[in-house]
Structures are given as C-alpha cells and as structure tokens.
Structure 1
Amino acid sequence: MCQRSSSSCVEVPKMPSAIKEVTVQLPQSHNRPDQPWHHYLSIDIIWYVLGYTLFHPFVSWVVVLCLRAQYTAYGAPEMRIAVAWSILMSAIGIFGIISEQIAFGSPREVDLAEEVIVITGGVEGLGGLLAETYGMRNANIAVLDTKKVDPDEAEEKGVVYYQCDVADAKQVEAAAAKIVEELGAPTILINNAGIVHKKSILDTSIEEVEQTFRVNTLSHFITLRTFLPHMLRESRGTIVTVSSVLGHLGAANLSAYTASKAALLALHHSLRAELAQIPEATEIKTILVTPGQMSTKMFADVEPPNTFFAPTATPADLGKSIIRLIERGESGEVAIPLYSQYIGFFTMLPTGVQQLVRRWSGLDTAVGKVSSRRKDSGEKK
C-alpha cells in the first residue's frame, strides 16, 4: 500500500489479519468491602515513619542544625535535648552496624548473570513471587514444585520449572542433575516449600504429621545435602530458610506446622555454625525468614488476631526484603511484621504474663476452637 503526498511516497507496512487477544483480569475494587481509614493503620506503619524521622540519626542532627540556625545557645535546654538525642540515635546506629558485621561478616559479590537460583515451592505464594521477579530480570531461575506449569507460561515468565517432590531425595537429586546440565551449578537456594493442616493434635492423623514434616523440614535437609556441595565447589552461595514466627510461639490447631517450623530455626543456626567451620564456606551466606501471618492461600481463611499490632504480611514486603539481602550478598534475618522482630522478648516474660498476652492477642483462637474427640476409655458402663 502506498500513500502519496506532494513530495514522497511512503510504504505503509501491512497489518496482520489477526491480532492476538490477551485476556487480562483486573482486580475489582467493588468486590472488596470498604474499610475505614484506621483499618489500614498499624504499628508497622508508625514504626516505619518514625524510623525515617524521629529515630533517624541524620534527621536528628538536622534538628540540631536548625536550632543553631535560629541562634539557639548550646546551653539551652532544647539544644541539650536535641544533641543528646542525636548522639543516642547515632550510637544505636553504629552499634547495629558493628553487631551485624560481627554476626554476619562482610558481604559477597553477587552478579545475577553468574548465579543460578533454586526455589522450592515456587509456583504460588511467596516462592512464586520471587521466581517471577527473578524471571523478569532474566536470571537463571529453577523452581522445584509438585505442581505442573504449562511450558508456554513458564517461557513467558522466564522460569524453568521442574516437577519434583522436594521431600523425595531421589527426585531432588534427579532435578539437580538437570539444573546443573541446563543452567549451571546452583549458587542460591531458597527453601520455601511448605504445607499446613489446620487441625488439633487429636484430629491430625499420623500421615498428615509425617507429610508436614517431610515437606516443611525434611526437604530442607535434602536440598542442603544436594545443593550445598555445588556452592562449596564454587566457593560462594546464599541459602534462604523460610520458617515462621509460629516456630517461636506455637499455636492451637497448628501443632504439626509450628513444630516443623520450629525445627527449621534450629536447623538454620546449626547450618551457620557448621559453615563457620568450613574454609570454603566463607562466601556462603545464610538468610533466615520468620514471617507472621501472610496473605497467601495457605492462611487465607485465618483472621489475624489484631490488625494493628499483628497486621497480615504481604509476599511483596517479604520478597523485597529477601531480594535485597540476596543481591547485596549479605547474611541476615527477615522478620515481618514488626512483632516478629521482637518475639524473643516475649519468651523472656514470666510465664503468667505470656499466658495473658496469648489470651489478649487471640493467638490460640485464630484458627478456630479445638474440636474435642471422645476416646473409648474401655470402661464398662
């Protein structure tokens, strides 16, 4: 087709006869109930704002400079308070930097083009978000999951999926061999796979307990034994252990889940201790993730005990923190929401106070009441 003007003839390319239709399902806000403004207010938001204002060393010293700009005398009470507060905030900040340096050491260099990332349980939830994020950045990303993903969808996301039961050592070893052959030696392992049975101890079958521990705990041992040797040979790596704050607390009707997550806390610290004794593991970093309740399918039917003090964590918030530590080449801990970071103080309280806090928070009633099961005592009536 040629369009003529007074001085030139421009060839217009032919348009394809059929245009590919892409179906997009946008979130419908009208399906969500309207909430008052204070419903979205939480202690996490307040703490976040304070962290960048009142509790920030730089801002504290800016206040001191502002006072001096107004010719406030050094001996004035407001100047003394401002200087003392600035010194305190600076000391806390310096102490935190030194503490992390002692605990986690220097960061390693991370180049995503040279890293091979393995994520267990990476089809949905937090793992799915991490996989898709790295897939969009053209990283070498492999996902181990029992769920099957359509090849076209996998290619579109830029993720290589391996249908695999991470609780089966032979399946993991077979998948690892394919990963090494197709992508290279794994250097970043994100152990994220997990399941939950929301039942009381009496209602949970032995098969369900075994399944929970195999997926939530045993799989970590299997993947570590499979992928850690590759990291040692490469003399670099990052291992992410996704546990839960409930591993510290326990909760009614979640006994198998909380016990399996508590085991991961001990496993993480044992892993760090063992890596510290291996010369080749100097550049292998470890990250412990202990989130509170997340807005995923696993706990979609569970109401948070208190939306102000215990808001629901989003996979995006957790994923952002995990990715930041991985790409900085740092070890560390990710605990969201805020109370997850200070759960250690709860365990230091007197047992009576702990019990009152549990009752007040609604921790043990969030998953429903324990269903009583009457067992045959064998007595004659």
Structure 2
Amino acid sequence: MEPRESKLRPIPAQFPKSFTKPDEPWHHYLTLDLIVYVLSYTLFHPWTCWILVLCLRAQYTPYGNIEMRIAMAWAMLMSGIGIFGIFSDRFAYGRPREVDLSEEVIVITGGVEGLGGLLADTYGMRHANVAVLDTKKVSDEESEERGVLFYQCDVGDAEQVERVAREIVEDLGPPTILINNAGIVRPKSILDTTASDVEQVFRTNTLSHFHTLRTFLPHMLESRRGTIVTISSVLGHLGAAHLSSYAASKAALHALHHSLRAELAQHPHGADIKTILVSPGQMSTKMFEGVKTPSNFLAPVIAPTDVAKEILRLVERGESGEVVMPLYARWISVFGVLPAGVQKVVRRLSGVDTAIQRAGLVKEKMVAAEKSG
C-alpha cells in the first residue's frame, strides 16, 4: 500500500539571526538589569524574606537575637513596600478590566516588522483578531500564514486611517485594543534637516496617534472597554544630537499620553479604557542597527521580545501602566534635576550625542562642506 501524501502545508523554517552571530564572552550577558532582576525575586521579594525568618525559627533562633530582628525587620520592610506599590497602582490606574482575546479586536500600526511585527505575530499565533496598518504591502499568502489581516495605510494620513477603520469594523468588528507603534527616524543634524524630513517624522511618529485615537477611541467609549498602547522612547526625555526630529516627536507622545489619561478620567465611559506608555531604551531593531551603547553593563541593548513580553502582560491583565526598560530608563526623569555641569558630564560619558555619528548613520552636508573648505 502506497503511503498517502500529507495534506499539511510545509512552512519554511529559518533560524533567528542571533544564531549566525559569534558567541559573546560570558560577562557580556552580565548586566545591571539582570542583577536587579535576580535580587527582586530573592533578597527584595517579601516571600523569600519571610522564608528566611521561618528558617531561622526552624533552627530555634530566639526572637531577641540580632539576626532574627534584622531578618524580621527586612521582611516587614519589603512587605510594606510591596503593599504600598499595589495600592499605589490601584489608586492611579483603577481596577483591571476583563480581557478575552477571542472577543478583542487588536489594531497595530507599523506591525509588519520590528516590535510591532513581533506583537502581531504573537497575537496571530494565538488566533486573536489582529489588524495591522502599515505602508508596506503584504501578500495574502503571508497574511494567512501569520494569521493577521494587513491593511496598506499611511497612518500619518487621517483620511486613509478613517477609510481603513471602516474596513476593519466590517471585517473584524469595532477595535478594542490599539497599539500605536509606527515610527521612523531621519538621523540628520538640525541644519541639514529639511522641512519635508521634519513633517514626515512628525506625521508618522506623532500625528498618527491623533488620527488613530480620533478614529478608534469612539468605538472603545461606546463599548466601555479598551486598551491604548503608546510606544514612545527614552530619547523623548533626553534628546540627542542628530536625532532632533525623532526625539521631539517622541517627547510629544509623553504629553499626549498624560493628556489622554486625564481626559479618559473625566469621561463617563472611560473608566475601563486602559492606557500603557512604553518608553524603551535602545532596542536591537533595524532602526538603530549598528549603534552601540557606552556600557553593556549599565545600558544594555534590549531585545524587542523583552519589551513585547511586558506589553502583552499588561494588555492581557487588563491593566494600565508603563513599560520602561532597561533599568536606567526608569530613572531618566531624575536626569533633568541634576546640575547643568553634571548633566554635561553624564551626556559626554554616555556618548548619547555621538552614538549615531559613530555608527555611520548620519548624512551630514555640513561636515562635507567644512572638509572641502
């Protein structure tokens, strides 16, 4: 008897690019973020701290002994900090909403590649209703393979967003989760940046958020549930040489996010519409490929998977919040209150203003003119 042919469609497999790169030395993977992560589940975790107290009691350590007092005081301190954090988040963001992916309609801008593509593929594999808006055209075969509907659309154009929104409502239903991820960068000095460059960056990075919010937010308010994810950047707090338009467009998103939260708090149907602000440091995507941080220990390049994991966690828990990583990015707002001289030293040591130029991503007319003169 001849074997029957398999009806399963073969899917080509390709190893991630990391497999083609040479192995780094062991200390390359040792970062401040990793150390803090381990400590957060050991020395700084209330459960672990109380286990230590129980272990001391199991050895019949008297309560009056100095080691028992220190262990109990530390456990109570960690418990107090943990409880305060829970109440602080509940007071700031309210109760989480119920999220059932089978009933959600997810819209992702700029979701063909990079972080947006990773989020789209993850939801597609879980059979969620996903609509991706991107200027890149995707074939029907690839769309079916990824389990995602792709709509060719320039999100910087309000009319195109409104047109595609009507198609999404007809194909999938009213959107309930909006992930504003689309972004571009034009690495040039301010004097070399044209009006067209600035307009294009702001249209894609900033104005697109206004277009999608005006278009999709009414559906969420009508159904009284939703989640809005705003993808910004740590450069929105810092600024950087040769990235003026990009940094300015991302800084605007921080203000937009806080304004959105304030308006939703005043709207009678806005209680169950959650907001998430994402401000990552440098990610290992094509946008800043070749840019190196001054210290892999203090400022590691983060993988898009790590950022995506945190976004997915908050979205699926139905919570509001912020995704800020790596560790230094959480304290970047403190940078602005430092003395001006200290700020200058920190910027020079960090190399934030020279990283783009060292990576060879800047197209400078001024430098060429000076050399020729």
Query: TM-score, length-normalised on structure 1?
Result: 0.92
Please tell me whether the aligned partners of residues 293 and 350 of structure 2 are also in contact (alpha carbons under 8 angstroms): no
Question: Which of residues 347, 359, 362 in structure 1 aligns to 2:348?
Answer: 359
Give the secondary structure class of the aligned counterpart of 2:366. coil
SS at match of 1:368: helix
1:375 CA drift (Å):
12
Question: Structure 2: which amino acid aligns with 1:71?
Answer: Y
Question: Deviations along 1:318-339, whole A, 9 cap, x unmatched?
Answer: 1111011011100000011111
Alpha-carbon deviations, 1:203-260, whole Å to 9, x = none? Answer: 2111111100000000000000000011011111000000001100111111100000
Which residue type is aligned with residue 310 of structure 1?
A
User: Can you list the C-alpha shifts for 1:132-156, whole angstroms capped at 9, x where unaligned?
Assistant: 1000111010000000111011001
Question: What residue ranges of structure 1 are gaps of 5+ in the alignment?
Answer: 2-12, 377-381
The equivalent residue for 2:249 is: 260
Residue 123 (structure 1) shift? 0.2
> How far apart are the structure 2 equivalents of 1:267 and 1:131?
24
Which residue in 2 is equivalent to 1:233? Answer: 222
CA distance in 1, matches of 2:107, 2:136: 16
2:181 is matched with: 192
Deviations along 1:169-224, whole A, 9 cap, x unmatched? 11000000000001000010000000001111112111111100000000000000
**Alpha-carbon spacing, 1:361–1:233, altered in 2? closer, same or farther (3 Å):** same
Q: Does 1:68 align with 2:61?
A: no
Whole-Å separation in 2 of the counterparts to 1:181 and 1:17: 36
* Cα distance, 1:320–1:21 mapped onto 2, change above 3 Å: closer
After TM superposition, the structure 1 stretch with the greater mean CA deviation from structure 2, 339-348 or 364-373, is 364-373
Question: What letter corresponds to residue 51 of structure 1 in structure 2?
Answer: S
Equivalent in the alignment of 2:233: 244
Unaligned runs of 5+ in 2: none
The offset of 1:75, in angstroms, is 1.5
Tell me whether 301-310 or 24-33 shows the greater mean CA deviation. 24-33
Per-residue CA deviations over 1:348-371 (Å, capped at 9, x if unaligned) read: 222221221111111111111685
Question: Quick check: 2:33–2:326 contact (8 Å CA) kept in 1?
Answer: yes
Per the alignment, do residues 22 and 231 of structure 1 end up closer, same or farther by CA in structure 2, a change over 3 Å counting?
closer
Give the aligned residue type for 2:134: D
Root-mean-square deviation (CA, aligned residues, Å) is 1.9
In the alignment, which residue of structure 2 is the partner of 1:338? 327
Q: Which has the larger radius of gyration?
A: 1
Match of 1:137 in 2: 126
Q: After the TM superposition, which of the residue ranges 366-375 and 355-364 deviates more from structure 2?
A: 366-375
Alignment of structure 1 residues 165-180 onto 2, 5 Å: 165-180=154-169
8 A Cα contact 2:282 2:301, kept in partner: yes
Contact 2:275-2:320 within 8 A present in 1 as well: yes
CA distance in 2, matches of 1:375, 1:27: 38
Match of 2:366 in 1: 373
Most deviating of 53-62 and 339-348: 339-348
CA contact (8 A) 2:240 2:247 kept: yes
Q: Which runs of 4+ in 1 moved over 4 A?
A: 17-22, 27-30, 369-372
Residue-pair matches, total = 365
**Quick one: distance in 2 between partners of 1:242 and 1:317?**
14
TM-score normalised by length of structure 2: 0.94
Measured against aligned partners, the alpha-carbon deviations of 1:289-317 in whole angstroms (never above 9, x if no partner) come to 00000110101121122211110111111
Matches of 1:17 and 1:67, distance apart in 2: 62
